[in-house]
Structure 1
Amino acid sequence: MTSNQTTQSPPAGLRLRKGFALEVVLLMLVMFSIIVLAGLSAVTTIARTSNADYRGARASYAAEGGADDIMSQLDAAMQDGIINGEDIASITKPEITGFRMTQSTSTTGVPVSRTITAGPFAGLYSLNQPIDITVSARDTSGNKATAVLSVNAQTIPLFQFGVFYEDDLEILPGAPMTFAGWVHTNGNLYLSSASATFQSNLTTPDSVFWNRKDASNRLAGVRINNAAGTGVLLDFDSRSLSEPAFKTRSEVRFNGRLMSKAQGVRPLKLPLPANVPAVTLVQPRSVGDSPMVQDVKMAWKSDWYITVNAAVFDIVDTNTMKAQLCTNFMVQERTGGLQVPDAAACAKIFKPRRNAFYEGREDLRPDLLDIHMDSLRIWSDASKAARSPRIIYVNFTNLGGNTNKDYVAVRLRQGAQLPKPGISADTGGLSMVTERPMYVLGDYNTIVWRPAAIMGDAITFLSNPPNAAMAQTPGSLATRCSAQAGWCDTLQTNYAKRTARPTNVRAALLVGHSPTPCDYVRAGCGAPPYGGGLENLPRFLEGWGGVTFTYTGSLVSLYQSRFAFGLWGNSTNPNSPGAPGGGYYDAPTRAWSFDVNFRFPERLPPGTPSVGTVLQTAFRPLY
């Protein structure tokens, strides 16, 4: 049997619901795809943004690094104490792998002399030259950044410091000593004394040691004035405290007036080209001197350059030696058309003296060129516009060969009053310079103050005449010996210590020193000989016990003495009635202070060298 079956279709509503579900699924798939694609796009965008930020940051760091490089070049250029147009022009652009660098460095405005208001040298004045450094860095993808660094090139005159040392500075006086003036050393600072007071700041970019350098001897009498002017005992140093603790303790005890590397003190650059030793400042002219060396040598700065043939000391007869000095053994050169003395005036100003007196520290008898400053002043003041000197340099040639010229030096006599300036409105002043040792007899620059400096290998002060033990009887016009002249030399050939008389000196000193060779605590040092310290930078030869030596000026030492290298405390002298035990001097009472006149640029001695440093004042990126 055949049956016919009929298939029925689903209701219309059901068909609609199935179609809607499919659409929903498809829509969800589309939406999900959109979300996935959006996420992928966001990830890509973030990646690209991060990469761009990374490259931008690298460019910024490159620009900042380039600016630091330029600042380093400027810092190196300050080795001659100043920044000039030549220094700016010689700056090379930084080189950083992966970047094309450009730089623009320029001064902003003119140098301005003003007081330093911040940093370790606040309170001093300097010649300030603002400089802007602009450095741009661009990578291979075009990412670019620019940085602007503002710096200040500070030029500080050396004689603005009460004390300035390039090497380690030892201040270890036995006799009481009070010093008024800023003390700075580019080396370590050693302090120990039963009675020493410092009335101003002490700074070093290295360490402070409350002890001696040659042996352990920590004396508890070192005082440093706080901001209120009260002397406070030193009771710590760089060995006993860490740098942060040192800084804190200095602030508590001295209101921060004792500063070391703990406070960020930086070395001050000497006024010299790179790789040129500091002693170059006082060395004679040389045909091989570069323009940069000529700029800093006192010999080239001088307006009166004197060359003495030391063969004059070979002449046996004293009067013949004096008569022939100016005509046969001396050459004088002056700049700007200034006059030199004629033969008669020259003979009064300059006098040679062979084996003049016994020099206890060097254990010999020096051959001297005596410069009679009173005769120089009388001659100069008679026509000051055409004659007045500012820097006199004395050079010796033909040295060595025999004992008549074994220790050649310069001695300044009767220097209580210096020549007037060539221009009445000028402060004037006189700097006396030689690479040899120098002696000063009696008061110097005390009647009418003038800016004065004495520069050489070493400086020894001989006290004021008259001194009966030093006079010749009868007197002699040829030797200028009399009871009034004193230090007549003919009686200085024995070993007796002469009794000193109170003496007053007002002049900046730039001289060599005798160092203690090493610190006793260092391995292999042993017991080194004491160099004499700051208290013996000005040297003495007489019995100064209880007698005051008054000094006002600036004590600067940038190098070690090369000719006057006799040891401090030399005890090889034979015994004599005047020198029991062989000692050659007794320490004076030291009344020493900084000359506050040097705080004004127009009152500095002629040719004053400067030191410099470069400080960052601002930084900003450019977008």
Structure 2
Amino acid sequence: MNTKIKNESGVVLIICLAVLLMLSLIGIASITTSNNDMQIADNEMKATGAFYAAESGLEQAASAIITSYENEGVPPSPLPADTTSEFNYTYGYSVTDDGPAQNAQLNSGAYKGLYGLVKSFTINSVGIDNSNIAGVELEMQIQDALIPIFQFAVFYEYDLEIAPGPDMTLGGRVHTNGDMYLQAGSNLYIDSYLTAAGNIYHGTKPGSGSGTATRDVWIMDDNGVYQTMKNADGTFLDSRDDDWVNESLARWGGRVEDGNHGITPLYMPVVVDGPATDLIDRADGNPDSYENVAGLKFIDGQAYYNTGGDTWVDVTT
């Protein structure tokens, strides 16, 4: 019996072509997916760059406002606004005045507990990449406060040493931009916040020549109760303690803080030019006098009320 062998080479060719077509489609799909992934990554990179460009605008505007308050005590005029293009990105920002300043108590930060004249500004910033693929708009509110220095019982720029002999009570806030040294020959009472940009120590400042006193230093806590710096073993709780931050927070409820807690130097606006006593001197030829912003003043037993501008009316009765 003879068996005929069929020629199936054409079938094999068709199968090979089909497989080749499938592989080509898979390759094309892979290339397309890869291109899409690259495009997505590129878009994400441009969006990130636009975000940082917009953020840069916020920071520049905020810095201009803060610098103006620190140097002049007033906001910049005109308010900051600019458009800048660099590194393939463009950002523009503007500042809006949110209205008149308000007298308010500050509830957080190094100035907490103080009253200040608080003014708010809204900063808007837009960042885009120069190919217009991505754009980001950011908004930030910034507040600046003018804080009268007279809220402090003691405000000192350098290292401060308080070492009374007889009993002494400080009825207001005490701050130094340096280290603080506390001791008492009898008892020292502090009724308000005690802050230092450096450290707070019990004892005398090295090299000051003062003797060492070991009586109590009492500081009022957040509940209005005096708490001593002295520990049960006769030592004193201060910055030299290994757990000073937590121990001081537990004892005084946040009313005794130094650089270890994050307190930084306080820059209080005092006078534009001349001695600090200009603040309490008469207003004649003295732009720093508080008389310029007073609504009521007493001179030689007479009371005068400001009705606007430089007009004063005698309201003595």
| TM-score normalized with structure 2 length | 0.77
Q: Given the superposition, is the C-alpha separation of residues 215 and 138 from structure 1 closer, same or farther in structure 2, using an over 3 Å criterion?
A: farther
User: Alpha-carbon deviation of 1:42?
Assistant: 1.2
> Does residue 91 of structure 1 match 2:102?
no
Aligned CA distance change for structure 1 residues 219 and 92 (closer, same or farther; 3 Å): farther
Which structure has the larger Rg over C-alpha atoms?
A: 1
Match of 1:152 in 2: 143
Distance 1:215 1:240 in 2: 24
1:219 aligns with 2:214: yes
8 Å contact kept, 1:304–1:389 = no
Q: Which residue identity is paired with 2:228? A: L
Instruction: Give the counterpart of 2:49 among 55, 58, 81.
Output: 58
Match of 1:30 among 21, 33, 46: 21
Separation (CA, whole Å) in 2 of partners of 1:298 and 1:231: 33
> Do the aligned partners of residues 131 and 272 (structure 1) sit closer, same or farther apart at CA in structure 2, a change above 3 Å counting?
same
> Aligned equivalents of 1:193 and 1:95: distance in 2?
59
Change (3 A) 1:218 1:240: farther
Structure 1 residue 46, shift from structure 2 partner: 1.0
1:182 aligns with 2:64: no
| DSSP 3-state at the match of 1:61 | helix
Aligned counterparts of 1:113 and 1:128: Cα–Cα separation in 2: 6
How many angstroms apart in 2 are the aligned matches of 1:165 and 1:94? 42
CA distance in 2, matches of 1:65, 1:424: 45
Match of 1:129 in 2: 119
Tell me how far 1:262 sits from its aligned partner: 3.0
Matched, 1:261 2:253: no
Match of 1:201 in 2: 193
Q: What is the root-mean-square deviation of aligned Cα atoms in Å?
A: 3.4
Secondary structure at the counterpart of residue 193 of structure 1: coil
CA separation in 2, counterparts of 1:236 and 1:64? 43
Per-residue deviation, 1:32: 1.0
Name the CA shift for 1:131/1:246 in 2 (closer, same or farther; >3 Å): farther
Distance (Å, rounded) in 2 between the aligned partners of 1:231 and 1:189: 19
Note the C-alpha offset of 1:69. Answer: 2.6
Q: Does 1:118 align with 2:118?
A: no
Structure 2 counterpart of 1:219, which letter?
T
User: What is the aligned partner in structure 1 of residue 305 from structure 2?
Assistant: 423
**1:386-535 equivalences in 2 (<5 Å):** 419-423=301-305
Is the contact made by 1:174 and 1:193 (CA closer than 8 Å) also made in structure 2?
yes
Contact 1:303–1:389 under 8 Å retained in 2: no
Q: Is the 8 A contact 1:220 1:233 kept in 2?
A: no
Change (3 A) 1:134 1:261: farther
1:237-276 equivalent positions in 2, closer than 5 A: 237-241=238-242, 245-271=243-269
Shift of 1:107: 1.5
For residues 277-356 of structure 1, what are the structure 2 equivalents within 5 Å?
A: 279-282=274-277, 302-303=283-284
| Deviation sequence 1:231-266 (CA, Å, 0-9, x none) | 22223333444xxx4331221111111122333334
Unaligned runs of 5+ in 1: 1-7, 284-296, 306-334, 337-384, 391-417, 426-623
Return the alpha-carbon distance in structure 2 between the equivalents of residues 272 and 122 of structure 1. 19
Greater relative contact order, per chain length (Cα 8 Å cut-off, separation 6+): 1
Query: How much does 1:105 deviate?
Result: 1.0
SS in 2 for 1:50: helix
Whole-Å separation in 2 of the counterparts to 1:168 and 1:95: 44
Q: Taking structure 1 as reference, are residues 298 and 160 closer, same or farther at Cα in structure 2, changes over 3 Å only?
A: closer
Alignment correspondent of 1:497: none
My pick for the range that moved more, 107-116 or 250-259, is 107-116
1:151-198 Cα shifts (integer Å, max 9, x gaps): 111121211222222333221212221222111223332222242111
**Partner Cα separation in structure 2 for residue 218 and residue 189 of structure 1:** 15
**What amino acid does structure 2 have at the position aligned with 1:265?**
I
Amino acid at match of 2:47: G
Q: Secondary structure at the match of 2:302?
A: coil
Aligned partners of 1:96, 1:262: CA distance in 2, in Å?
41
Question: Partner of 2:304: helix, strand, or coil?
Answer: coil
Please tell me whether residue 67 in structure 1 is matched to residue 58 in structure 2. Answer: yes
Partner of 1:364: none
Residues 193, 222 of structure 1: 8 Å contact kept:
yes
Give the distance between the partners of 1:138 and 1:247, measured in 2 at CA. 44
Q: Give 1:298 shift.
A: 6.5
SS at match of 2:303: coil
Q: Is the 8 A contact 1:81 1:155 kept in 2?
A: no
Identity %: 25
Provide the TM-score with structure 1 as the length reference: 0.41
Cα shift at 1:36: 1.3
Instruction: Give 1:18 shift.
Output: 4.1
Taking structure 1 as reference, are residues 186 and 78 closer, same or farther at Cα in structure 2, changes over 3 Å only?
A: farther
Aligned length: 287
Paired with 1:298 and 1:181, the residues of 2 have a C-alpha distance of 19
1:95–1:282 CA distance, 2 compared to 1 (3 A): farther
| CA 1:107–1:198: 2 relative to 1, 3 Å | same
2: CA distance, partners of 1:237 / 1:32: 76
Are 1:188 and 1:208, in contact at CA under 8 Å, matched by a contact in 2?
Answer: yes
Deviation at 1:81, TM superposition (A): 6.8
Give ranges in structure 2 of 5+ residues lacking alignment.
Answer: 230-235, 308-317
Task: Give the counterpart letter for 1:247 in structure 2.
Answer: V
